[in-house]
Structure 1
Amino acid sequence: MADIPHDIRFALTEFDRSQLPEPQRELHGEAFQEAVREYFTKRFQPYGGAAHIAVSEELVILRWTGKAEPAPLASQAADQLREGDTDKGIALLRVALQRDPNDPDALYNLGMALGDRGEANEAIRLLHQLTTSHPHYPGANVALGVANARAGKWDDAIAAFRVALERDAHDGLARKNLGAALAQMDLLEEALEHLKAAVVLLQDDPEAWLNLGMALEQTGVTAEAETAYRRVIALDKTGSLAERAEQRLTRISSERFTGEDSGELREDAVAHLVDALKRFASMTDGQVRDLTFEIAMLGSKGLSIRSREPVHTLRNLPGKFSGLELLCLEYAGFQRIDPSVDIGIDLSAEYAEAERRA
C-alpha cells in the first residue's frame, strides 16, 4: 500500500517560541522560519515516514507521510504524554485528528492534555465531540465533566458526571467528581451520598477521601471528617493531598482547642507557656526571633496540634516537641518580639496566667 500524506496548516504567529532553544527565540524573518522548520523536522523524526515542513512568512504547513500501517499515532502520543513530553504528545494528537477528525483515542487524550494545560475551552469542545460521536468511550463523560469543572462551568460538569453514572452506577471516578462538583454548589446532602459511595469504590484514592472530608467538614460532621483526613495522610504519605489534609486537621483541632472548656484555662497550654517563658529568660531577642520564625515556618507546612506526642524537632532548640508545645513557644515568642501578630489561636488568658506563675 502506498504511503498516505497528511497535511496540517497553522499561522506562524501561533507558534510558541518557548519551544525553541533559547538562542533562537528572538530570531526574525528567514532565520526564524528555518528554526521552526528544524524544530518540527526533529519532532517527527522518531516516528518513521517523512516529515515535509514548509514555513512561509505567514503559514506553517506540515506534511507527514507515514507508513501504510504505522502504530496508531494516538497511542504514540499517549506514550509521550505519560513520559512528560506534553508538546510532542499534543503535536502528534493534532496530526492524528487531521487524519481522522473522529479518532476517539486522539479526541480523549488531546482533550485531557489540553485541560491539564489550562486550555479549557478547546478541551471541552474536543471532549464534547467525543461524547457525541463515541458516547460509550470509557471515561469520556467523566473527562468532559472535569474539563467543565476546571472552567468553572459547574452545571455542565454535573450534567456530564450524571450521564457517566447513568451508564455505569459503579463508576467511582464519576461518583468522586460528581460529589465534589455538588459540594461546590453547596448541594451537600447529595454530594455526601456520592462521596461516601466513591470511597467504597475507590478505597485507596486519597483525593476521594479528601473530597469526602471537606464535604463532611462543611456540614459540621468534624469527627468523620477527621477520619477521612487521616485516611488521606495514610494513603498519600508526604504528598500535596496529605499536606492539605493535615492543614484541615490542624484547623479543626485549633477550633476545638479554642472552643472547648469555655471560660476555663487550658492547663496544658499554661504549663507549656510557663516553660516557654523560662526558656526565653536566658535568650536574646534575636534568638527568640529566630526560634519563633522557625516554628511559624514549620506551622505553615502543616503543624499538628492534635497529638501530644513529642515528634517535632527544631534547628534553634534541642529536644523533641509536641505540636501544642510548639504552638505555645510560638505564641510566647511573638508576645515578646511582636505582640500584634495573630497566630490564629487566642492564648491570651493562658499567657497571662503563665506570666503570673513564671
Structure 2
Amino acid sequence: MTTRQAPEIFQIPLDDLDPAGLPPRGTPEFEQAVIGRYALDYAARGWQAVVAVDDAFVRVVAVPERGVEPKAYVLGLLQNGFLEDALPVLEALDGMLDDAELAYSHGLCLSELGRPAEAVAPLQRAVELDPTHANAFIALGVAFARTGRTDEAANALRDAVKLEPANAFAKRNLAAVLMRSGRAAEALPFFRQAASLAPADPGAQLGLAQCLEELGPSHVKEAAEQYKAVVKRFPDHQAGEMAEEALTRIGHEEMRAAVDGGLRMDAVMYMQAALDRFAKLDQAKVGQIVMEIALLGRNGLEINKPAVRYTLQNLEGEFSGLALLAYMHVGFRMFDAKGDAGTGLDREYEAAVKMRRER
C-alpha cells in the first residue's frame, strides 16, 4: 500500500524574501517573478503548486502527484490535536481561499492556543462567508467573551441559538455570558434549556445551580437541590467539587441566618460534647470519624432541620446535621489547630474550648 504524501503549505512575509534577481516590489513583474520562482521549483519535483502574492505575503500550496488534499490534511492535523502544526497551514490557506470552514478552523485553532483576540477576525470572516455556520458563531461568541467584549459575545451566541435551537453548548455559553454580565434572570431559561438538552454535561448542570444561587433567597432551595444533583452525578469531576463547596457555603449562610448572625449555642454544645468524646479516642479513630462525616456531607447535611437524624459507623449515636458539622470541626482542629475547617463555626469552636476550660 502506497502512503499518500503530505502537501506543503506555507506563507512567507515578502520582507523575508531574498530580493536577488527579483524586479522592484509592488510591480506586476515582481508578482510574476515570485510566483514563477515557487511554481517552477515545485514543477521540477513533479508537484502541482498554487502560489498567491499580496501586499504582505507569498502563500504556497504544493501537492505531490499522490498527495493528500490540502484541506483534508490540515483538518486532520486539527482533529488529532496538532494545533501548532496546523496554524501556519491554516494561515496560508485562509489567506488564499474564501472557505468558511477553513476560516472557522483558523479562528478556532487560535482560540484553543490561547489567542482569542487574534481569533476574532477569522471567525468573523467565517460567519460572513457562511451566515448559517452555527459553530462559527459559537466560537466567535466565546472569543469575544474571553476578550471582555460581552455584548458582542451575547449577540454572536444568540445568532447561534437562532440557527440551532437545540444546541446545548450554544445555550450554555450564552447563559454564562449573560450571568457574568449581571443578567442572571435573563440567563436562567438558557441554563435550564442547556441542562435539559445535555444532562451529561457537568458545565451545564453546575451553571444552572450557580445561576439559581445568584438569583438570591427565592431560588436558594432549588439551587441547593441542583448542587446536590451535580455532586451525585459528577463525584470525580471538578464540577462536583465546586458543587460541594457551594453546598457548604449555602449551609453556612442558612446557619447564620437562623440566629441572625450571632453564636449558635446549639453548635457550641455539640462541640463541647465532641471535645469530651474525642478526648477518650486515639487520633486515628478521630480521623476516621472526620473522614466519614466529610463523605456523608458530600450530598449536603440538613443543618437547620434537627429532626433529620444521621448515624455513623465509627461513632455511636444519632446526630443532627449541625451536630455532625460541629464534630467534624472539632476533629479537624485536633489535627490542625489553626487550619480552616470550612464549616463557618470558628467562633463557636473558640467559645466551646473556652467554656470547657472554665468548667
Question: What range is the shorter-chain TM-score in?
Answer: 0.5 to 0.7
| 1:77 matched to 2:74 | yes
| 1:118 matched to 2:117 | no
* 5+ long unaligned stretches in structure 1: 14-48, 53-58, 313-321
Matches of 2:151 and 2:275, distance apart in 1: 53
Could you say what secondary structure the match of 1:9 adopts? strand
Match in the other structure for 1:191: 187
Match in the other structure for 2:41: none
| 1:211 matched to 2:207 | yes
| 1:9 matched to 2:15 | no
**Shift in CA distance, 237/110, structure 1 to aligned 2, threshold 3 Å:** farther
Deviations 1:113-164 (A, max 9, x none): 2112221121111111101111112411111101101111101001111212
Could you say what secondary structure the match of 1:139 adopts? helix
| 1:168 matched to 2:164 | yes
**Shift in CA distance, 323/310, structure 1 to aligned 2, threshold 3 Å:** farther
Matches of 1:348 and 1:159, distance apart in 2: 48
Matched letter for residue 65 of structure 1:
A
Matches of 1:5 and 1:252, distance apart in 2: 58
Identity of aligned residues (%): 21
Deviations 1:154-198 (A, max 9, x none): 010011112122323333222211111111111122111221122
Instruction: Give, in angstroms, the shift of residue 243 of structure 1.
Output: 2.0
Match in the other structure for 1:40: none
| 1:242 matched to 2:240 | yes
**Shift in CA distance, 156/94, structure 1 to aligned 2, threshold 3 Å:** same
**Bigger mean CA deviation after superposition, 89-98 or 195-204:** 89-98
**Shift in CA distance, 87/12, structure 1 to aligned 2, threshold 3 Å:** farther
Matches of 2:156 and 2:144, distance apart in 1: 9
The equivalences for 1:79-94 within 5 A come to 79-94=76-91
Match in the other structure for 1:105: 101
Matched letter for residue 257 of structure 1:
M
The equivalences for 1:1-358 within 5 A come to 7-10=10-13, 63=60, 65-67=62-64, 70-100=67-97, 102-220=98-216, 221-262=219-260, 265=264, 267=266, 270-276=269-275, 279=278, 304=298, 306-307=300-301, 325-331=327-333, 337-338=337-338, 345-349=344-348, 351-353=350-352, 356=355
Matches of 1:200 and 1:77, distance apart in 2: 35
Matched letter for residue 94 of structure 2:
L
**Shift in CA distance, 151/353, structure 1 to aligned 2, threshold 3 Å:** same
Deviating above 4 A after TM superposition, structure 1's stretches of 4 or more consecutive aligned residues are 3-7, 10-13, 49-52, 59-64, 68-72, 261-264, 280-283, 308-312, 331-334, 341-344
* 5+ long unaligned stretches in structure 2: 1-5, 17-45, 50-55, 302-309, 315-323
Instruction: Give, in angstroms, the shift of residue 355 of structure 1.
Output: 5.3
Deviations 1:3-27 (A, max 9, x none): 99855114999xxxxxxxxxxxxxx
**Contact 1:182–1:190 at 8 Å: present in 2 too?**
yes
**Bigger mean CA deviation after superposition, 140-149 or 113-122:** 113-122
Matches of 1:252 and 1:125, distance apart in 2: 43
Matches of 1:86 and 1:5, distance apart in 2: 16
**Bigger mean CA deviation after superposition, 218-227 or 121-130:** 218-227
**Shift in CA distance, 352/135, structure 1 to aligned 2, threshold 3 Å:** same
**Contact 1:270–1:350 at 8 Å: present in 2 too?**
no
- Point out the structure with max Rg over C-alpha: 2
**Bigger mean CA deviation after superposition, 62-71 or 169-178:** 62-71
Matches of 1:347 and 1:4, distance apart in 2: 66
Q: How many residue pairs end up in the alignment? A: 293
**Shift in CA distance, 64/211, structure 1 to aligned 2, threshold 3 Å:** same
TM-score using structure 1 length: 0.66
**Bigger mean CA deviation after superposition, 265-274 or 216-225:** 265-274
**Contact 1:93–1:110 at 8 Å: present in 2 too?**
yes
Deviations 1:261-312 (A, max 9, x none): 55674646643553346546888xxx89xx8xxx89xx9xxx8483467599
Match in the other structure for 2:19: none
Could you say what secondary structure the match of 1:217 adopts? helix
Matches of 1:90 and 1:153, distance apart in 2: 24
